[in-house]
Amino acid sequence: MTQAFQKLAAIRGMNDVLPEAGHRWEAFEALIRDWLHSYGYRNMRPPVLEHTRLFTRGIGEVTDIVEKEMYTFTDALNGDSLTMRPEFTAGMVRATIEHNLLYERPQRVYAMGPVFRHERPQRGRYRQFHQIDVEALGFAGPDVDAEMIVMLARLWRRLGLADIRLELNSLGQPDERAAHRAALIAHLERHRDILDEDGQRRLYSNPLRVLDTKNPAMQEMADSAPRLSDFLGEASRAHLQGVCERLDDAGIAYRMNPRLVRGLDYYNLTVFEWVTDRLGAQGTVCGGGRYDGLIELLGGKPAPAVGFAIGMERLLDLWGQSQAPEPVPECQVYIVHQGEAAQRRAARVAETLRDAGLSVIVHAGSAGFKSQFKRADASGARAAVILGGDELASGSAGVKWLRGDAQQGEAQQQVPLDQLAEVLQSKV
Ligand code: ATP
Ligand code: MG
């Protein structure tokens, strides 16, 4: 016996965006683009798939992402190891180098789209999620770091978000980190007996990350560990001070968090996160920082850079808490018709209305007026346009206002076809 066809469902942790939510996504994306353009950022669209080695190199072998979260597979056609991007920065930098974008001047660029990580799905944590990725490539100074943070504060204001706070840290430069790292390893070795499995494993490979533990048994050890801030040289301290002063200028509050190390290997100097308590356990909405070594690491001419990524699902969730979603009409005008000649005419009339900038649905197929009007109503349209035999003969259309506020005494009127667009535009 053949088995019943197994019901098809989406992959766990990969969500469908259905039409109602789809409209919110579109409105959100439009607002985001507008905001990015207001700071001179231009759009880039790197591919979803890249060679695996880009990420192992660019993100770092001993990071959560590379160790356990990447969707990596062998291309059956040629044996290449490929990975679905788990973040944008590596691909953005690869593209920048490959196309020599920094040859003439620094670049402010952004990308927006899905990224993929094999994590345990829960609220705010999915296997396909979306990021807004923003990169300022070729800029060295603290002015750009601060500008990015100020620009994020503007976005939160624009979205009407409160209760979102800024955490800041400096990771210094590689040599400062090396000196700190040696001191840190010595500290961890002294507390070896209380390190959990992850801690043991990362003791030598990524000791900084060991401090990022959520294990309560390790908190005291983490609190008493040597601090990187004590190992920062003058230039690093000046950079941090430069950022802080500019945040003060802009009236942006922040908390210095020496534990903030970020999950990726490539950061130096400024790192920051925006965090909220309104999203349960997954409270980080945006993370970013400076990565002056990455362009060279990936084969480019050395150039400084700074960037951040926003988790779109988390930000949308937060936005939804501050702003009730409005029901969105499918169209402004819904055309009902009777008879084949009228239906064909309706299609042409609809085109002229769209020429005038209106959004129009023509009732598909044929049905009685009553059921067509039901559909018109359900569509959320402000007006129904009626085309029947009488209308065709007289070269006019009936217009019925479907929403109370649009009509002034008169629920239905006859309008000559050549004035139809104008009459509709004045009221929808
Ligand atoms: P987390 O600590 O929550 O795992 P992360 O440090 O791995 O975050 P980044 O690599 O900095 O996250 O990614 C930038 C942003 O993308 C995060 O601040 C978060 O808003 C969002 N994000 C990260 N992982 C996920 C996920 N699995 N699902 C939804 N959003 C995510
Ligand atoms: Mg993570």
Q: Give the model confidence (pLDDT) of 334-368 as tens digits.
A: 999 999 999 999 999 999 999 999 999 999 998 99
**pLDDT for 421:** 96
**pLDDT for 2:** 59
Neighbours of 273 (CB within 10 A): 20
Q: Which of 55, 59, 129 to mutate to test the pocket of ligand 1 (most atoms within 8 A of CB)?
A: 129
* 167 confidence band (pLDDT: 50, 70, 90): very high
| Helix/strand/coil for 128 | strand
Query: Measured between alpha carbons, how far is residue 372 from residues 103, 179, 410 in Å?
Result: 60, 75, 21
Which part of the chain is CATH 3.40.50.800?
333-425
Which part of the chain is CATH 3.30.930.10?
19-173+233-322
Instruction: Tell me what the mean pLDDT of segment 305-332 comes to.
Output: 91
Determine if ligand 1 sits within 6 Å of the CB of residue 287.
yes
Please tell me the class of the 19-173+233-322 domain.
alpha beta
**pLDDT for 265:** 67
**pLDDT for 405:** 55
Q: Which of 314, 317, 319 to mutate to test the pocket of ligand 1 (most atoms within 8 A of CB)?
A: 314
Q: Quote the pTM value.
A: 0.90
- Out of 3.30.365.10, 3.40.47.10, 3.40.50.800, 1.10.620.20, select the CATH number for domain 333-425: 3.40.50.800
**pLDDT for 81:** 97
Q: How far apart are CA 63 and CA 86, in angstroms?
A: 12
**pLDDT for 62:** 80
71-122 tens-digit pLDDT: 999 999 999 999 999 999 999 999 999 999 999 999 999 999 999 999 999 9
175-190 tens-digit pLDDT: 998 899 999 999 999 9
**pLDDT for 268:** 92
Ligand 1 centroid–CA 201 distance in Å is 23
**pLDDT for 410:** 61
* 408 confidence band (pLDDT: 50, 70, 90): low
Question: Where are the alpha helices (H) located in 191-233, listed in sequence order?
Answer: 197-202, 207-210, 219-223
260-288 tens-digit pLDDT: 887 666 789 999 999 999 999 999 999 99
Q: Which residue has the higher pLDDT, 310 or 228?
A: 310
**pLDDT for 137:** 98
**pLDDT for 120:** 96
Question: Where are the alpha helices (H) located in 326-419, listed in sequence order?
Answer: 340-355, 369-378, 389-394
Report the percentage of the chain scoring pLDDT > 90. 80
Which H/E stretch holds residue 131?
Answer: strand 128-137
Ligand 1 centroid–CA 74 distance in Å is 26
* 409 confidence band (pLDDT: 50, 70, 90): low
**pLDDT for 20:** 86
Determine if ligand 1 sits within 6 Å of the CB of residue 263.
yes
Cα radius of gyration rounded to whole Å, the chain: 28
| 282 closest CA partner among 250, 260, 315 | 315
Q: How far apart are CA 239 and CA 269, in angstroms?
A: 8
Ligand 1 centroid–CA 180 distance in Å is 27
**pLDDT for 183:** 95
Instruction: Tell me what the mean pLDDT of segment 14-42 comes to.
Output: 95
Ligand 2 centroid–CA 332 distance in Å is 43
Ligand 1 centroid–CA 29 distance in Å is 18
Atom of ligand 1 nearest to the CA of 274: 18
* 3 confidence band (pLDDT: 50, 70, 90): low
